[in-house]
Homo-oligomer: A and B are copies of this chain.
Amino acid sequence: MSRVRVHNFSISLDGFGTGEGQSAEEPFGHAGQRLHEWFFETRTFRAMTGQPGGGTGVDDAVAGEWNTGIGAEIMGRNKFGPQRGPWEDHEWKGWWGPNPPFHTPVFVMTRHPRPSVEMEGGTIFHFVDATPQEVLRRAREAAGDLDVRIGGGPAIVRAFLEADLVDHLHLVVVPIVLGRGVRLWDGLEGIEQRFRVESVTTPGGVTHVTFTRP
């Protein structure tokens, strides 16, 4: 059976996966870029965004796993865009320009479905109002033999963890104290007991933590 994976999910020392006050200008709210600076330095991120260069150390090696063997992504509406409530603007097609880096079907969880949007390069956004189990069923169908990635944000990752649907969780603990925003861990007491846990700190100062289903 294909696995369900989370990759490159940054959290602060106090457990926030994004800051407060998300907007078109600040997708991570008051956190700004602080949760992802480690990622911007990697060759993986540079390649995703059409830039040359980037580091090729351990951060990059771990970051680069995000897209290996993935056949579909599931994301929350807040990852897709800054709008809330009924869609007022169907022109919004995500943060990623005409050719998003996913190149697979992407299932956007929202209580406000809208027609699918086909992008260049194989990315198709589907908008679904359904439980994690049902969305996963559809994503697995689309992914064939490949794995399904849970792309975030924190509320979506938490919902799939709570439903015990995640097989591999890669977190990046960034040593900052955000103080406010959306917490990853609420309601997940003792979740480490379901997983084999490994941690490694890299010279950039972040700690990669993987939770893998044994």
Please determine whether B189 and A178 come into contact, CB atoms closer than 8 angstroms. Answer: yes
Q: A198-B205, A201-B199, A201-B207 are in contact. Are A179 and B190 (CB under 8 A)?
A: yes
Q: A14-B185, A15-B15, A185-B14 are in contact. Are A199 and B205 (CB under 8 A)?
A: yes
Proximity bits, A12-35, B CB within 8 Å = 1, else 0 = 011100000000000000000000
Cα of A73 to Cα of B181 in the assembled complex, Å = 35
Please determine whether B209 and A13 come into contact, CB atoms closer than 8 angstroms. Answer: yes
A184 contacts which chain B residues (CB < 8 A)?
14
Cα of A185 to Cα of B191 in the assembled complex, Å = 21
Proximity bits, A184-196, B CB within 8 Å = 1, else 0 = 1101111110000
Please determine whether B173 and A190 come into contact, CB atoms closer than 8 angstroms. Answer: no
Cα of A163 to Cα of B83 in the assembled complex, Å = 39
A188 contacts which chain B residues (CB < 8 A)?
14, 177, 179
The answer to the question of A159 belonging to the interface, with a C-beta cut-off of 8 Å to chain B, is no
Please determine whether A189 and B200 come into contact, CB atoms closer than 8 angstroms. Answer: no
Please determine whether B192 and A176 come into contact, CB atoms closer than 8 angstroms. Answer: yes
Q: Which of B189, B197, B200, B206 contacts A180 (CB 8 A)?
A: B189
The answer to the question of A175 belonging to the interface, with a C-beta cut-off of 8 Å to chain B, is yes
Proximity bits, A153-187, B CB within 8 Å = 1, else 0 = 00000000000000000000101111110011101
Cα of A123 to Cα of B26 in the assembled complex, Å = 53
Cα of A25 to Cα of B39 in the assembled complex, Å = 45
Residue of B nearest to A204 (CB): B199
Residue of B nearest to A210 (CB): B175
A200 contacts which chain B residues (CB < 8 A)?
201
Please determine whether A207 and B14 come into contact, CB atoms closer than 8 angstroms. Answer: no
Please determine whether A192 and B177 come into contact, CB atoms closer than 8 angstroms. Answer: yes
A197 contacts which chain B residues (CB < 8 A)?
175, 205
Nearest-Cβ distance from residue A84 to partner chain B, whole angstroms: 24
Please determine whether B205 and A207 come into contact, CB atoms closer than 8 angstroms. Answer: no
A interface list, Cβ under 8 A from B: 13-15, 173, 175-180, 183-185, 187-192, 197-201, 205-207, 209
